Amino acid sequence: MLLVCCFLKPSWRNNMPKKPDLLIILDILALILILTALVVIFVFTPIEAIMGSVQKVFYFHVSSAWAGMVCFILGAVGGTGYLLTRRIRWDWLSSAAIEVGLIFSIIAILSGMIWARPIWNTWWVWDPRLTTTAIMTLIYGAYFILRTGLNTSEARARLGAVYAILAVLTVPLTFFSIRLFRTIHPVVIATGSETGSAFSMSPRMLTALLLSLLTFTILLTVLVWHRYRLAQLQSEINPEAA
């Protein structure tokens, strides 16, 4: 069926705006960075002395959490842009960013559970960082429930924008939770005196982490851009469904 669709070239493909050259470049760059990061993490990065091989989940866990938070902030920017201009394109950006961010946040939670099981001997603890991350993810999941319950694109855009701006308050709360409350979760981005229970990263580990963060940043950019273009196409086909 997929091959038939490709050869028949459905009419909606004729309406699809031409993919920008920059997006094509970012697509290729994202693929190259993903492959490079995988090789660096699993081949060149040393195995951590205490945690062993499971520590390699760390690079994906931190990067996906970073990507999710960036997307949620971008969602608030899009919501603000819509309230100021009433241009629907800002709503496309906001909803696209939040959708991608929600996926990254779920990945962060799942990868954190995989990492925690052999280290903490449990899949989950009600630690401040884990709890605030779960709350943040649930709040952004409710964003789409809200949009589904509204009948017009204008109402979805307006209330979605307000919701996105209010929901973004959970991002700094989640980020600073390990500094505000007593926690067993390690501080990754901090000075030497703040790292607490964090493991010591070698130069190669730090390089792998920075590469992973760069990879996920490019990846989130690509995914949000593609989702934005899909919203644009959906609006052209059925304006009220966008």
Domain count, the chain: 1
Full-model pTM:
0.84
Averaged pLDDT, 220-237: 92
Of the candidates 63, 160, 159, the one whose C-alpha atom is nearest the C-alpha of residue 111 is 63
Does the residue 112 lie in any domain? yes
How high does pLDDT run on average in the chain?
85
Does the residue 8 lie in any domain? no
Does the residue 9 lie in any domain? no
Q: What is the pLDDT of residue 12?
A: 46
How buried is residue 60: exposed, middle or buried, by Cβ count under 10 Å (0-12/13-18/19+)?
buried
Residue 18 has φ and ψ, to the nearest 5°, of -60, 135
Check whether 7 has a pLDDT greater than 80.
Answer: no
Q: Which residue range is the domain that position 169 belongs to?
A: 56-186+194-237
Does the residue 94 lie in any domain? yes
